[in-house]
Amino acid sequence: MESRASDEPLPMDVELQLPKEPPKIHRLDQSVVNRIAAGEVIQRPVSAVKELVENSIDANSSSINVTIKDGGLKLIQVSDDGHGIRYEDLSILCERHTTSKLSSFEDLWSIKSMGFRGEALASMTYVGHVTVTTITKGQLHGYRVSYRDGVMEHEPKACAAVKGTQIMVENLFYNMAARRKTLQNSADDYSKIVDLISRFAIHHINVGFSCRKHGAMRADVHTVATSSRLDAIGSVYGVSVARNLMEIEASNDDPSGSPFEMHGFISNADYAAKKITMVLFINDRLVECSALKRAIEVVYSATLPKASKPFIYMTIVVPPENVDVNVHPTKREVSLLNQEVILEKIQTLVESRLRSSNDARTFQEETTEPSSSCYVKPCKEANLSPLVLGSKSQKIPVHKMVRTDSLNPFGRLHAYMDTQPIGHLDKSASLTAVRSSVRQRRYPNDSSGCVTVQQLLDEINSSCHSGLLDIVRHCTYIGMADDVFALLQHNTHLYLANVVNLSKELMYQQVLSRLEHFNAIQLSDPAPLKDLIMLALKEEDVDPESIENDAFKEKVAEMNTNLLKQKADVLEFHFCIHIDQHGNLSRLPVILDQYTPDMDRLPEFVLSLGNDVDWNDEKKMFQTIAATLGDFYAMHPPLLPNPSGEGLRFYKKRKLGCAEQNPCNTTGNDEISENDVDHELLSEAELAWSQREWSIQHVLFPSMRLFFKPPASMATNGTFVQVASLEKLYKIFERC
């Protein structure tokens, strides 16, 4: 094998310099050997991030945070809350082939950890400056130490530290000029890192991940530990991806054959993307397997030509002795015993799954009656919006060719995936059938609830405004124009749309159509209704001091609590609102996946559940509870003022402001700060606002496309306002 000792370019006249005599063979200097090896293990910044994150996972962490500066060339920082590194081990930590994970060669056959070669940290010290800060359980303080070329630069220094380990790699490839130059010119290293963390995040769902650029408020990947793989996929890749996935499973437990277990999610016919996403883990190791990828791609092209670039998440487990992890220095590729047999089994399974889902879909399309004006006739180009079809057949004047394709992310502030209405209609149609048959079985005599709710749903359908529906289905979300209005583009028109009104109505509609079929949001601490109602009453009050008033409020709170306790069964059964016999609220419904309401509004909600619901008339009861839930779950502006722009003044510290920040915990973050701003409150507000914006873009608008029936009243009550017609704007520009 040939290797060049450095990244220096070869001289142009190589041939002329070739010696006539056989050259003398000599032993390479150890430092050269190490640098060559390091260059192989750490090929790009993303390889360093992978090694560091794998170490954090091996250390049993439950939260891993990655910060990147300059695509990783300036800084890679990975912090975890794992078991830490012992003081005694720090001196050899970064030497080559030092590991805590492997002792004998035979261990390789049962290895469960990601690392085992003891090369990663060492390699990083040969091509970058590594600083480790770590603390182990039961210690009063941690240690920080820097490494260069495998050895410590100084004795470890005692320092304050939070649980776990933080590893910083600075100035990567500082001593490899050519590599640094190539990488500097490529802009995509950060996106490679984001992609990597996204993949880890949907596999290791018991670990919370974040990945952000240094100094950025918002993380580009952010997950919390969860027990649902679909939730994790939704929060990383978007709800619209998660919604279009089918679960697959296969196994072969015949030990004489090729035992394996496979579990995964694969996209259905409604998922459309420009390129395939394949996230593959074999024995918990993130790997690539081009043979498997190809095999699946072939099946998709043959079965679902319109959705031939699938999203695949797959985890395969084989007996450790059947997989050779040691075939690649970065452990990216593995080879499996009986690979062909396994691949073929998986390929056959994927194919039959796709065929059966596709058949069901066709069947639905043929038999479902178009239920309302929103039904889109299935056509060959089902995955193109009607407008794009139009643009194919007739020539569009240049001045009208503006971001009209809502399925094409070009020009959006943030691109997001889309789904087609047809598939959804199918699903909801079959779902409704299943629901009513289940209901019939469980409650053979209960037809009335069904009827009144159906009346409400019919009302929603009949008041649906077809023009607005078209806007909602095919608009492009551009961004928030202010705290309440989003800017949308539809064909050549720009609209402002009130997201509070929209989300309120959408939630209302969703409550009625999901009735009895909610997933639950479990409150970590059950909340006493009475306290919540008291809180809400006090907030409403103009004269909070009055004692007389207090006794009255207590009475109101008491009565409302009793009323809600009596209605607990109805609330639980239909709405997934759980109230225990002590009058504590412990569960709320998930109305839209990936979205929880602003809990600051919980007191108001409970009060209004007691006050505003009409319990006497069944239809009104469903209607008012759904409206109350709609109001609670609506995407109101957070209670803290928007910190961007004018609202920032709110966060100026009052005279007796908060305590000084602890300097020990702010390592690596040197871009602070105007001292007169209350940073804690400010970052709380920033988080609340950015989460809301995320939800508006990734939950509200994608869900509206699928489910929303905008009522006619919205055309005139200021919910939608047309602000400009691009054709007219173009005319103005032409004159300039």
Q: Which residues bind ligand ADP (CB under 6 A)?
A: 51, 55-56, 59, 80, 82-85, 93, 98-101, 115-122, 165
Contact partner, 603, from ligand ADP, Mg ion, none, Cβ < 5-8 Å per class: none
Short-list 87, 83, 118, 82, CA closest to 100: 118
Which CB atom, from 110 or from 596, has the smaller least distance to Mg ion? 110
Give residues with Cβ within 8 angstroms of 715, minimum separation 6.
465, 467, 468
- Name the residue whose CB lies closest to ligand ADP: 115
CB 510 within 8 A of CB 707: yes
Spacing of C-alpha 169 from chain mean position: 26
Eight-class DSSP state of 136: -
Which CB atom, from 120 or from 497, has the smaller least distance to Mg ion? 120
Contact partner, 270, from Mg ion, ligand ADP, none, Cβ < 5-8 Å per class: none
Q: Please report how close the Cβ of residue 259 comes to ligand ADP at its closest, in angstroms.
A: 27
Q: Please report how close the Cβ of residue 54 comes to Mg ion at its closest, in angstroms.
A: 5
Q: Please report how close the Cβ of residue 584 comes to ligand ADP at its closest, in angstroms.
A: 40
Contact partner, 264, from Mg ion, ligand ADP, none, Cβ < 5-8 Å per class: none
Contact partner, 117, from ligand ADP, Mg ion, none, Cβ < 5-8 Å per class: ligand ADP
Q: Please report how close the Cβ of residue 330 comes to ligand ADP at its closest, in angstroms.
A: 11
Contact partner, 99, from Mg ion, ligand ADP, none, Cβ < 5-8 Å per class: ligand ADP
Eight-class DSSP state of 108: G
**Count of CA atoms in the C-beta half-sphere (13 A) of 655:** 0
Which CB atom, from 117 or from 692, has the smaller least distance to ligand ADP? 117
CB 507 within 8 A of CB 451: no
Residue 422: how many CB atoms within 10 A of its CB? 21
Q: Please report how close the Cβ of residue 71 comes to Mg ion at its closest, in angstroms.
A: 22
Residue 129: how many CB atoms within 10 A of its CB? 17
Which CB atom, from 100 or from 277, has the smaller least distance to ligand ADP? 100
Residue 104: how many CB atoms within 10 A of its CB? 6
CB 281 within 8 A of CB 287: yes
Which CB atom, from 80 or from 189, has the smaller least distance to ligand ADP? 80
Q: Please report how close the Cβ of residue 118 comes to ligand ADP at its closest, in angstroms.
A: 4
Which CB atom, from 164 or from 610, has the smaller least distance to ligand ADP? 164
Token output for 617: 């008339």
Q: Please report how close the Cβ of residue 647 comes to Mg ion at its closest, in angstroms.
A: 45
CB 637 within 8 A of CB 663: no
In our burial notation (b when 16+ CB lie closer than 10 A, e otherwise), range 646-674 reads eeeeebeeeeeeeeeeeeeeebeeeeeee
Spacing of C-alpha 113 from chain mean position: 26
Q: Please report how close the Cβ of residue 69 comes to Mg ion at its closest, in angstroms.
A: 22
Task: Please list the helix, strand and coil fractions of the chain in percent, rounded to the nearest 5, in that order.
Answer: 45, 20, 35
Q: Please report how close the Cβ of residue 417 comes to Mg ion at its closest, in angstroms.
A: 34
Q: Please report how close the Cβ of residue 172 comes to ligand ADP at its closest, in angstroms.
A: 16
Which CB atom, from 51 or from 686, has the smaller least distance to ligand ADP? 51
Which CB atom, from 120 or from 591, has the smaller least distance to Mg ion? 120
Which CB atom, from 121 or from 245, has the smaller least distance to ligand ADP? 121
* CA atoms of 361 and 357, how far apart (whole Å): 6
Contact partner, 208, from Mg ion, ligand ADP, none, Cβ < 5-8 Å per class: none
Contact partner, 116, from Mg ion, ligand ADP, none, Cβ < 5-8 Å per class: ligand ADP
Sheet holding 720-725, edge to edge: 476-480, 485-490, 493-498, 720-725
Which CB atom, from 103 or from 716, has the smaller least distance to ligand ADP? 103
* Dihedral (CA of 446, 447, 448, 452) sign: positive
Round the CA-based radius of gyration of the chain to a whole number and report it. 30
- Name the residue whose CB lies closest to Mg ion: 115
Q: Please report how close the Cβ of residue 55 comes to ligand ADP at its closest, in angstroms.
A: 3
Contact partner, 693, from ligand ADP, Mg ion, none, Cβ < 5-8 Å per class: none
Distance in angstroms between the alpha carbons of the first and the last residue of the chain = 65
**Count of CA atoms in the C-beta half-sphere (13 A) of 111:** 24
Contact partner, 583, from ligand ADP, Mg ion, none, Cβ < 5-8 Å per class: none
Give residues with Cβ within 8 angstroms of 733, minimum separation 6.
none
What residue type is assigned to position 143 of the chain? Answer: Y
Q: Please report how close the Cβ of residue 174 comes to ligand ADP at its closest, in angstroms.
A: 20
Which CB atom, from 43 or from 100, has the smaller least distance to ligand ADP? 100
Binding residues for Mg ion (CB under 5 A):
55, 115, 120
* Dihedral (CA of 50, 55, 60, 65) sign: negative
Which CB atom, from 163 or from 353, has the smaller least distance to ligand ADP? 163
Short-list 229, 227, 209, 207, CA closest to 219: 209
Q: Is 58 helix (H, G, I), strand (E, B) or coil?
A: helix
* CA atoms of 170 and 75, how far apart (whole Å): 5
Token output for 254: 């015949």
* CA atoms of 688 and 663, how far apart (whole Å): 26
Which CB atom, from 331 or from 587, has the smaller least distance to Mg ion? 331
Contact partner, 491, from ligand ADP, Mg ion, none, Cβ < 5-8 Å per class: none
Q: Please report how close the Cβ of residue 327 comes to ligand ADP at its closest, in angstroms.
A: 16
Contact partner, 578, from ligand ADP, Mg ion, none, Cβ < 5-8 Å per class: none
Token output for 726: 């691009």
CB 43 within 8 A of CB 330: yes
Which CB atom, from 330 or from 690, has the smaller least distance to Mg ion? 330
Contact partner, 165, from ligand ADP, Mg ion, none, Cβ < 5-8 Å per class: ligand ADP
Q: Please report how close the Cβ of residue 86 comes to ligand ADP at its closest, in angstroms.
A: 9
Angle between helix axes 189-203 and 229-237 (nearest 10 degrees) is 160
* CA atoms of 406 and 651, how far apart (whole Å): 38
